[in-house]
Amino acid sequence: MKTLRTSYIVGGVRTPFVKSMGAFHHVQRIELMIASLQELRKRYHLDQMIVGDVALGAVMNSSADWNLAREAILRAGYHPHTPAYNLQRACGTGLEALVQVANKISLGQIETGIAGGVDTNSDIPLELQDSLRKFFLNLPQAKTLLDKIKTVTTLKPDSFKPRIPAVVEPQTGLSMGQHCELMVKSWGISREAQDRFAYESHQKAAKAKAAGFFDDLIIPVAGVKGDGILRADTTVEKLAKLKPAFDPENGSLTAGNSSALTDGASSVLLASEEAITRNGWKALARFVDAEAAAVNFVGGDGLLMAPTLAVSQLLKRHGLKLQDFDFYEIHEAFAGQVLCTLKAWEDATYCRDVLGRSEALGSIDPAKINVNGSSLAVGHPFAATGGRIAATLAKLLHQQGKGRGLISICTAGGMGVAAIFEV
């Protein structure tokens, strides 16, 4: 029986994360992806190397970029024999890409691999209304003038309105923010607690930036040198003045305690121990395992609660307690979503009925959660967030020299992805 190899995170880079329709309004998604990949190529001398495989994704992708990953690799200057493919698991895309590459290394299929993702709402694809799309498809089939006139009469004024993609669940018609409003009401999460959590995320990210933690993780792109969403000067009082964004009458989610629409890209290099030695690289952290889970959000489960299951199943498989980690990187789609997750793990009834446990998982030391801030402060370009979090956690563990870290990411569609890194 073939022995599994160990897969390591060698390093990661990302573009600055900036608010959509801002500094990157003129930059195409593939250009952002290329920028991150080029830096990874230069930093780790990948110019003449055939990388084993490359997994990249985008949530807000265009049919014009149907071969996004392979095109990005070629245009970024990688060896033309390097294969690449696209994938998508909503906000968990970047982490899912890393999991797939790590598993290929573990199985011995490849020795090196790259995982990453990109999203930009500034380059969002627009679609035709179905009536106009069908008109363009049917018109060439009309043989006579009468047939052509009949085809034209199918058009209505509304046919010419573009269809703009929206982050709305097709099963419910509700946005992610509206679903999170239902969650925070169900779990009794206050507006004050959400604003406090958001404030702390900005403070931690600002402190990390001042200490230079992000210096080797972020590369300048299109004249932008750093993240554009971070607000070091925000206060709880300022956040408290913002109006509800998803439920004007009774809501508690605002633009301040929700992650902003963001443009950016990230990529991570993974390798086997043999490849690391051969190329003179350093291993930042070891990929241990990962888990994906889903909930029945149409049937009443919270849309963003699936990470509670993913983490629980991962802990069971490794015989770990929730407290057995030095760092917790919990994606901050919304402050309320993180707080719901933490409260669920502390709730014995939820852990029994939903997670199938005999007792509550318990609480986490707040000082170990998102120690350098997270999506609320630095932004959330959907498919790029997993790579950002993975590179951050790997660097934290490497700096400490030992330890274990947990990643938890919620996604649209009622899914969640979790992973464990160790040094």
pLDDT tens for residues 288-331?
999 999 999 999 999 999 999 999 999 999 999 999 999 999 99
Q: State the pLDDT at residue 1.
A: 58
Q: How many CA atoms lie within 13 A of 101 on its CB side?
A: 34
Pick from 61, 74, 175: nearest CA to 119:
61
- Structural domain includes residue 28: no
Q: Per-residue pLDDT tens for 123-173?
A: 988 888 988 888 899 889 988 988 888 888 888 988 888 888 777 999 999
Instruction: Using a pLDDT cut of 70, give the percent of the chain over it.
Output: 100
Tokens of 371: 């120690």
- Structural domain includes residue 143: no
Which one is catalytic: 179, 331, 380, 398? 380
Q: State the pLDDT at residue 181.
A: 98
- Structural domain includes residue 238: no
Which one is catalytic: 180, 340, 351, 410? 410
75 has pLDDT over 80: yes
Which one is catalytic: 45, 91, 340, 351? 91
Rounded mean pLDDT, 243-258: 97
Q: State the pLDDT at residue 151.
A: 86
| Alpha carbons 153 and 49: distance in angstroms, whole number | 57
**Annotation says 91 is catalytic:** yes
CATH of residue 308: 3.40.47.10
- Structural domain includes residue 134: no
- Structural domain includes residue 242: no
| Alpha carbons 248 and 390: distance in angstroms, whole number | 35
Q: State the pLDDT at residue 399.
A: 98
Q: Which residues pair with 56 in a beta bridge?
A: 86, 116
Rounded mean pLDDT, 183-197: 98
Q: State the pLDDT at residue 167.
A: 78
- Structural domain includes residue 142: no
Q: Per-residue pLDDT tens for 16-35?
A: 999 999 999 999 999 999 99
- Structural domain includes residue 147: no
DSSP 5: P
DSSP 280: T
Instruction: Using a pLDDT cut of 90, give the percent of the chain over it.
Output: 88
What are the angstrom distances between the C-alpha of 17 and each of 32, 93, 260, 332? 10, 17, 10, 14
Lowest mean pLDDT among 108-117, 138-147, 255-264, 276-285: 138-147
Q: How many independent structural domains does the chain possess? A: 1
- Structural domain includes residue 95: no
Q: State the pLDDT at residue 327.
A: 98
Q: Compute the CA torsion angle 302, 306, 312, 318 (nearest 10 deg).
A: 180
**Residue span of the structural domain in which 293 resides:** 176-211+288-422
**Annotation says 351 is catalytic:** no
Q: Per-residue pLDDT tens for 366-398?
A: 999 999 999 999 999 999 999 999 999 999 999
What are the angstrom distances between the C-alpha of 363 and each of 324, 367, 372? 11, 12, 20
To 10 degrees, what angle do helices 68-75 and 29-43 make? 50
268 has pLDDT over 90: yes
Q: State the pLDDT at residue 271.
A: 98
**Annotation says 180 is catalytic:** no
333 has pLDDT over 70: yes
Q: How many CA atoms lie within 13 A of 368 on its CB side?
A: 18
Residue type at 40? L
Helix (H, G, I), strand (E, B) or coil at 232: coil
